[in-house]
Structure 1
Amino acid sequence: MQSAPFALATVLALVLSAAPAAANDTTVRFATFNASLNRDASGQLLSDLANPLATGVSATVANRIKQAHNVAEILQRVNADVVLVNEFDFDFKGNPTASSDAMALGYSSEAAKRFQDNFLSAPHGHAKRGFTNGLNYAHRFTPNTNTGLASGFDLNNNGSVGGGDDAFGFGNFGGQFGFTIYSKYEIVGVRSFQTFKWKDMPGNLLTNDPTNNKLTDFYNAAEVNALRLSSKNHVDVTVRINGQDVHFLTAHPTPPTFDGAEDRNGKRNHDEIRLWADYIAGGSQGAYLYDDQGGKGGLAAGAKFVIAGDYNADPLDGDSFKGLVAGTNYNAINQLLANPLVNTKLTPSADGGLDAATHPSNNGNANQSHVGDARQDTADFSDSAPGNLRVDYVLPSANMTMSGAGIFWPADPDRNASNNTGDLYDLVGNFRDANLYANFPSSDHKAVWVDVQIAAAVPEPSSWALLAGGLLAVAGLARRRRQV
């Protein structure tokens, strides 16, 4: 049996070890990368990632596999602790598909596993830009997706049912343009909103369209009742870091283009972004939300979160739903950027965006009319329209401290040189590079990251009370023994 002094020392040690200390703060890097790891046909990503050496394939396939290596090297150089990879084709246990089934905590697609094992875990680089080490993520989660999932309706009103435009989310096959999450920290919970109906959002732009081209004139009643809000999925991936839970809020709203005067994609994009604004507000504002797991409501007050993804909306430029409409001023992405619950003290930037705005490879002058700072652009789009835009975001909650932010977009060191010299720039390249998969060495989007400080968890008041009670009890025991 322990002596009273020993027991007292034990309890005291527990109390002291539970006390917060600034030295235990951890710098955690969160990132997003629309990596263009989607493929043109079902199953291609799986086969590409199974063949990292590009053995016995055509030049076209070899270019696809090289692109995956470049994506892996970029991710290794960013070295995020938690990262969302957008445009990553979904599969269920190696079967390329999509369904309405919510994936269980811990689910990782076969493609996500192959990308880890065959690409992220392998070193990359060049003698000129240096070499990277393998990057290993102990935890993954791959959610299901609405992309390519047949709706059974003629959603684009072209007179026939079928094809990508008539899916719940655009995709030429089930699972195209999905996404996956990699984490060095344990994933302890997931909530997904794949099947949430657009009409069930109060004040939505589907049934409360303020424009003259109303969506209820474009969609029939059955379609309105069936339409899902999320074009892919909205997923809260809860990561435990330093004893604290951080909600990694991941999504990829539809581009606000590829439609007509009714602007169905622009309005959907606005409300997809709004979902997270309501979710982080919680309380009565988020009470209407229901997830695929049967839960309701948004985040609890004071919860820590990081919103990440390709949101296809620039605050100043591009085609997202914004401006004064029927007396109301709309701005899709400002629902997050101007949100007091979101920390925007640091804005990621890179010299590459400024360089790309006037690069000789450009095919138009749209960038010259842009209002936004080109250094903050995250995507190298067609320069005739819409031009380069800021569309990829990593936004921590206001109750977290940001200590750094950036975009992986190096400037071209030599505009007259080909993009095979070994420079860091060769990983991102010029718009419309010839003889490459999708015309880029990696993606038209760039990896974006932020660093935040996460302190060691502070015990709840009940825990402190329990420890104090134990301390008093041991002190009382010691007193009684002295009296015997």
Structure 2
Amino acid sequence: MRIFVWIISALLATAATAQDLRVATYDPGLTRKGPGLLLRDIRRSDPQVLAAARVIAAAAPDVIVLTGLDWDGDGQALAAFAGVLEQAGHAMPHHFSRRPNSGMPTGLDLDGDGRAGGADDAQGFGQFSGQNGMAILSRLPLGVVIDHSAVLWRDLPGNLMPPLPPEAAEVQRLSSTAHWDVPVLTDAGRLHLLAWSATPPVFDGPEDRNGRRNHDEAAFWLHHLPPAPFVLAGNPNLDLADGEGRPQAMAALLEHAQDPQPKGAFQPEQAGANAGHRGDPALDTGAFDPAGPGNLRVDYLLPAKGLRITGSGVIWPAPGDPLAAAVEAASDHRLVWVDIDLGSLEAGQGDR
């Protein structure tokens, strides 16, 4: 306990000032293989759950987009995890979550295996409705959320959707998890979190269905940027320098947003797949199989260009750091944070 208190005290010393708003995104790995299992593990004080809470408490965000957290109909798991986070020293009393597309049945055989009802037949890959969903936790009140998750893939202008059977095209949603516009209500005005978690651009065939969908999930925001300060936030599941995927939509978003390029304090040895990477390893946010994709940058915070960034980082401590064990135990993703000057938020109200 003393070590944990020291961790929090040391890191809070570098937390956002009263003039800044700290925004974060993180996949804490809070997903399980069946409904209700996450809530069970939270109530049992599962070590992985506690580790995820420690990482978030150490970063001390004002608002965080959580990707990779199971949804349940009455929000018990999210509320229980917020309670664990409060016990870890960082209360975030304002919550938002909604049923994601992951695991939502379509009633169709989308993967062509002759059976309907499998994980690949859902609106987004999932073994049950709500698996691997999203949530928002905030110290500040949240406004009315615009949920774009029901938009059909075929209805996105210029979409790259491959030819699908008519019955599939009529129901197939664009979002593999969700697309949300979440207003954060600050004293300086509203900041819109444009949150999403995309399908990885792999695990398909030559038709590149997942690669096309991953691209279009990012391209969606090109048509839905609000006329107010925003931060694109979440897990686009795409590294702009390494790995597979189509980077054009993310590159186009950077014409409207800035990339603070948050960096971690430690980069593992660049062996295996990492040895062939072109991108700066300090920008990586995921520690994946070194024999496969290697470490990649897949989690992003991209503030609107008019906002002034005062700090940013990736919670990736070196071995031996007191926080390192919790980071490793929680997830193969790393938490990303950005500090935004509230003065620039106030000045940008009404301007894109």
Question: What's the TM-score once normalised by structure 1's chain length?
Answer: 0.66
Determine which of 117, 137, 153 is the counterpart of 1:162: 117
Distance in 1 between residues matched to 2:340 and 2:348, nearest whole Å? 21
Determine which of 138, 154, 179 is the counterpart of 2:134: 179
Asked whether 1:316 is paired with 2:221, we answer no
Q: Which amino acid aligns with 1:310?
A: N
Give 1:110 shift: 1.2
Determine which of 71, 74, 88 is the counterpart of 2:52: 71
Give 1:262 shift: 0.8
Determine which of 225, 230, 236 is the counterpart of 2:170: 225
Determine which of 76, 79, 86 is the counterpart of 1:121: 86
Asked whether 1:400 is paired with 2:303, we answer no
Distance in 2 between residues matched to 1:202 and 1:228, nearest whole Å? 14
Distance in 1 between residues matched to 2:291 and 2:348, nearest whole Å? 56
Asked whether 1:451 is paired with 2:350, we answer no
Determine which of 201, 217, 223 is the counterpart of 1:272: 217
Aligned partner of 1:304 in structure 2 is: 229
Any idea what SS the aligned residue of 1:181 has? strand
Q: Which amino acid aligns with 1:196?
A: V
Distance in 2 between residues matched to 1:335 and 1:172, nearest whole Å? 33
Asked whether 1:201 is paired with 2:156, we answer yes
Distance in 1 between residues matched to 2:315 and 2:332, nearest whole Å? 12
Aligned partner of 1:149 in structure 2 is: 104
Distance in 1 between residues matched to 2:40 and 2:235, nearest whole Å? 25
| Equivalent residue pairs, number | 333
Determine which of 251, 256, 263 is the counterpart of 1:334: 251
Distance in 2 between residues matched to 1:25 and 1:447, nearest whole Å? 21
Q: Residues 27-66 of structure 1: CA distance to partner in whole angstroms, max 9, x if unpaired? A: 00000001110011111011112232xxxxxxxxxxxx10
Distance in 1 between residues matched to 2:174 and 2:244, nearest whole Å? 19
Aligned partner of 1:249 in structure 2 is: 194
Aligned partner of 1:103 in structure 2 is: none
Give yes or no for contact 1:355–1:412 (8 Å, CA) kept in 2: no
Give 1:386 shift: 1.1
Structure 1 residues 342 and 116, CA, compared in 2 at 3 Å: closer, same or farther? Answer: same
Q: Residues 88-117 of structure 1: CA distance to partner in whole angstroms, max 9, x if unpaired? A: 100111xxxxxxxxxxxxxxx111110111
Aligned partner of 2:11 in structure 1 is: none
Determine which of 342, 350, 362 is the counterpart of 2:264: 350
Give 1:320 shift: 1.1
Q: Residues 271-329 of structure 1: CA distance to partner in whole angstroms, max 9, x if unpaired? A: 0001112211xxxxxxxxxxxxxxxxxx22xx10011101100101111124xxxxxxx
Any idea what SS the aligned residue of 2:167 has? helix
Which structure would you say has the larger Rg?
1
Give 1:159 shift: 2.0
Distance in 2 between residues matched to 1:40 and 1:368, nearest whole Å? 33
Large movers: runs of 4+ above 3 Å: 456-461
Determine which of 18, 21, 24 is the counterpart of 1:28: 21
Question: What's the TM-score once normalised by structure 2's chain length?
Answer: 0.90
Give 1:143 shift: 1.9
Give yes or no for contact 1:189–1:239 (8 Å, CA) kept in 2: no
Distance in 1 between residues matched to 2:317 and 2:347, nearest whole Å? 40
Q: Which amino acid aligns with 1:87?
A: G
Q: Which amino acid aligns with 2:257?
A: V
Give 1:25 shift: 7.6
Structure 1 residues 458 and 348, CA, compared in 2 at 3 Å: closer, same or farther? Answer: closer
Distance in 2 between residues matched to 1:82 and 1:425, nearest whole Å? 23
Aligned partner of 1:12 in structure 2 is: none
Give yes or no for contact 2:202–2:211 (8 Å, CA) kept in 1: yes
Aligned partner of 1:97 in structure 2 is: none
Give 1:383 shift: 1.1
Q: Which amino acid aligns with 1:113?
A: A
Give yes or no for contact 1:143–1:235 (8 Å, CA) kept in 2: no
Any idea what SS the aligned residue of 1:226 has? coil
Distance in 1 between residues matched to 2:234 and 2:349, nearest whole Å? 32
Q: Residues 175-231 of structure 1: CA distance to partner in whole angstroms, max 9, x if unpaired? A: 00001101111101200011100111111001xxxxxxxx21xx2122112110000
Q: Which amino acid aligns with 2:278?
A: V
Give yes or no for contact 2:82–2:93 (8 Å, CA) kept in 1: no
Give the fraction of aligned pairs with identical amino acids, expressed as a percent.
Answer: 36
Distance in 1 between residues matched to 2:347 and 2:166, nearest whole Å? 51
Aligned partner of 2:208 in structure 1 is: 263
Asked whether 1:111 is paired with 2:25, we answer no
Give yes or no for contact 2:70–2:132 (8 Å, CA) kept in 1: yes
Q: Which amino acid aligns with 1:384?
A: A
Give 1:264 shift: 0.4
Q: Which amino acid aligns with 1:278?
A: H
Any idea what SS the aligned residue of 2:20 has? strand
Structure 1 residues 43 and 356, CA, compared in 2 at 3 Å: closer, same or farther? Answer: farther
Give 1:412 shift: 2.0
Distance in 2 between residues matched to 1:309 and 1:67, nearest whole Å? 21
Give yes or no for contact 2:22–2:340 (8 Å, CA) kept in 1: yes
